Every structure is written in C-alpha cells, then in structure tokens.
C-alpha cells in the first residue's frame, strides 16, 4: 500500500472555527477522516499531519523525500513567502500536489502567488476540502504510483 503524506501548515488545525466564511465548517478532525477514508478507498495509506512550526514541516518533507513518498501539501500562508518549505518540496522524488481550500487568486494580492507551485506536480485551489480528495485521486491514478503496479 502506497504511503501518502497529507501535510498541513499553519492555522489549518483551526479549521471549522477559523474564518468559516472562507474555509467552511469542516473541522480539522473531519478533514483527517475524509483524507484517510478517501485514501483507504484508493488503496493508499494516508498519514495526515498539521503543524504551525516550520522546522517540523521541513522534517516531514525531508522524510517524504527520503521515502520517495507522494505528498499532498497545504502550506497555508507559507506558500506565499517560505523559501525553506519550497526548497524542501523541491527535494521530493514523488508527486507533490499543492492544495488550498480557498481560491488564493480571488483573495488579497499577497496570496495570489505561491513559491511552492513552481515545484509542485499540480495545484488545486478554491474547491474547499474536496481539493484534498481530488489530490489523493490524482496520486493514486499516476502511472508511477506503486498502487498502480
């Protein structure tokens, strides 16, 4: 079974209570369950993590690179300025799907650009938590995914 990391950056642990007009009412616990259930149905072993600490995210990305594991990443605000996270993403040896719950292009100007996008396999933005489901489906369907072997 293919291990896939779903990694979430700062403030995403506050889903369901943070700016519900932007991020919706789905709680972080609901998101974890959604990703794990979706992954199980696709033959993926999904590990969902969230951190507000940059060093922890970097360690997780390094571990995924070492394992050649696919990553679904919502870098949160780090996507707009964090070159350390971008550089760690560039080390990944499997698919990287960048996910944003909100449409970052329809929000404040500073959110319109992601430094991570240039090293991502693909980017999904503005589809709510369904973006995670689509990202996991993409990972499972890739010809280089061990679940396809």
pLDDT band at 144 (very low <50, low <70, confident <90, very high): confident
| Cα dist from 1 to 61, 71, 115, 134, whole Å | 20, 15, 31, 19
**Quick check: is 23 catalytic?**
yes
> Per the annotation, does 101 bind a ligand?
yes
Q: Is 113 annotated as a binding residue?
A: no
Secondary structure (DSSP) of 29-94: HHHHHHHHHHHHHHTEEEEEEE-S-HHHHHHHHHHHHHHT--EEEE-GGGGGT-HHHHHHHHT-SS
Asked whether the predicted pLDDT for residue 67 surpasses 70, the reply is yes
Q: Which of these is catalytic: 55, 81, 100, 138?
A: 100
Using a pLDDT cut of 70, give the percent of the chain over it: 90
Each domain of the chain, given as residue ranges in start order, spans 2-148
- Predicted structure pTM score: 0.91
74 annotated to a ligand binding site = yes
Instruction: Give CATH for domain 2-148.
Output: 3.40.50.9100
83 is catalytic: no
| Each residue's pLDDT tens digit, 70-110 | 999 999 999 988 999 999 999 999 999 999 998 887 777 86
pLDDT tens profile 108-127:
786 677 999 999 999 999 99
């Amino acid at each position: 079974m293919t291990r896939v990391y779903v990694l979430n950056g700062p403030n995403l642990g506050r889903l369901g209570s943070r700016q519900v007009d932007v991020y919706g009412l789905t709680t972080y616990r609901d998101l974890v369950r959604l990703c794990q259930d979706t992954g199980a149905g696709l033959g993926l072993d999904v590990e969902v993590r969230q951190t507000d600490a940059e060093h922890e995210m970097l360690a997780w990305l390094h571990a995924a690179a070492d394992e050649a594991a696919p990553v679904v990443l919502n870098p949160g605000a780090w996507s707009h300025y964090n070159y350390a996270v971008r550089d760690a993403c560039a080390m990944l040896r499997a698919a990287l799907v960048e996910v944003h719950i909100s449409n970052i292009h329809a929000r404040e100007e500073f959110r319109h650009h992601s430094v991570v996008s240039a090293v991502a396999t693909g980017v999904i933005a503005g589809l709510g938590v369904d973006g995670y489901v689509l990202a996991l489906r993409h990972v499972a369907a890739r010809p280089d995914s061990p679940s396809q072997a």
